[in-house]
Amino acid sequence: MTTQSPFFAQVNPVQQIADRLAYELRDLFQVTGVRMRGQALIAFNGRLLYEPDSSYDEIQRRFRTLGYTPSLRVENGEDVLVAREGLLARANTGNPLINFLLLVATIFTTLAAGAGLAGINLAGAVGSGSPRLIIQAVLAGIPFAGALLAILGVHELGHYLAARYHRVSVTLPYFIPMPFNGIGTLGAFIALKSPMKNRRELFDIGIAGPLAGFVVAVPLLFLGVLLSPVTRIGAQTLTLDFVGSSIFIDAVVGLLRTVPADMTLALHPVLFAAWLGVLITGINLLPVGQLDGGHIAYALFGRRAHTVARVTFFLLLFAGLILSTNWFFWALLVLVGGLRHPAPLNDISRLGPVRRLLGYATIALFFLIMIPQPFAG
């Protein structure tokens, strides 16, 4: 004998998951609407009931048990909480041996560049096998290489320590050797391996690098100005008139030296390294994409930073037309890197007054240190 099972309405599994997620939000987020893109993405419209930071942490904890990662944003004046299927796994931060080998290579190439400023060929000295010539070349290269690598290294260390403080997965610094560009390097970078949780993390990690590097560059700039002899404009050597200056650099020179109107400074290797440090800091503060300035701008202005980035890009093109063609190169680089900055997971959180004040001060610093016509002499 057989019996027929009673009819049961078919249960929608995606709706079940949405209901479970909504239940977890019951005392944290007032849900007024739900949008579903299959099981992978479920968005809740409504209103966050408490302050964003602690609320996000609790929502993240609850959603983790269901295998989802939340993100918060504002759309048309309404809070939106998006649940994405999957958890943020701990990322692989790379092989430290690669970082070490790149650092060693960059030390050699910057030493070679520094020795070259003194008219000595480090590669030739090494090829000769003469300890005396090698030591002479290395000693000649140390002032430039040591100063430049100190600025670059502390810059990246600032990013690294800020990321570790906020428990963001991050690689060790990658130094980029470049033996043929006259300075021995293309700089250094770290790679963030996990998304930013909120705008405070974004701001702190973004601003830590340029401020740390600038703190090292300033005393080196003072020392370099004192070590640099005065020479006539147009002299057949590397001069401040040739590489270009900024409001800040002019102020330092005016404070420490008396330079007649028809004269300039012949760059001591330490001054040249500090000058590069100031230039790199200024470029990094451009409010575009994944540059440090892009992090700071998004932390301050949110999605309005995308408009700031587009305006900055067109200003770079304009600067390439009227100031120096070097700006076309930087415009191309920022375009390749992307103008838009990704939002942090909690995009509702805001910066406190101290961070906002520091952010605006950094914008002012950009205009003080930026060199309008680098290498245009």
Per-residue pLDDT tens over the stretch 80-110: 999 999 887 677 777 899 999 999 999 999 9
CATH at residue 33: 3.30.70
Identify which has the larger pLDDT, 129 or 293: 293
Q: Are residues 146 and 210 in the same domain?
A: yes
CA distance 129 to 141: 18
Domain that includes residue 72, residue range: 13-85
Residue after which a domain boundary falls, among 47, 63, 85: 85
DSSP one-letter code for 9: P
Same domain, 275 and 351: yes
Mean pLDDT computed over 179-189: 90
* pLDDT the model gives residue 1: 44
Distance CA 370, CA 280 (A): 9
> Residue 30 falls within a domain, yes or no?
yes
* Paired sense of beta strands 263-265 and 29-37, if any: unpaired
7: confidence class by pLDDT, cuts 50, 70, 90: very low
What does the alpha-carbon distance between residue 191 and residue 272 come to, in Å, rounded to a whole number?
Answer: 28
Last residue of a domain, one of 36, 60, 85: 85
Residue 94 to residue 91: CA distance in whole angstroms: 9
Q: Are residues 20 and 125 in the same domain?
A: no
- 81 & 115 share domain: no
237: pLDDT strictly greater than 90: no
Q: Are residues 189 and 315 in the same domain?
A: yes
Please, which residues have CB within 8 angstroms of residue 58's CB and are 6 or more apart in sequence? 28
Q: Is residue 137 part of a domain?
A: yes
Residue 225 and residue 324 in one domain:
yes
Residues 230 and 297 in one domain: yes
Shared domain check, 330 and 276: yes
Q: How many domains is the chain partitioned into structurally?
A: 2
Looking at the fold, whether 192 and 278 belong to one and the same domain comes out as yes
Residue 273 and residue 155 share a domain: yes
Give the model's confidence band at 192: pLDDT under 50 very low, under 70 low, under 90 confident, else very high: confident
Task: Tell me the pLDDT band of 132, cut-offs 50, 70 and 90.
Answer: very high
The H-or-E segment that residue 63 falls in is helix 52-64
Are 207 and 233 within one domain? yes
Same structural domain, 35 and 121 = no
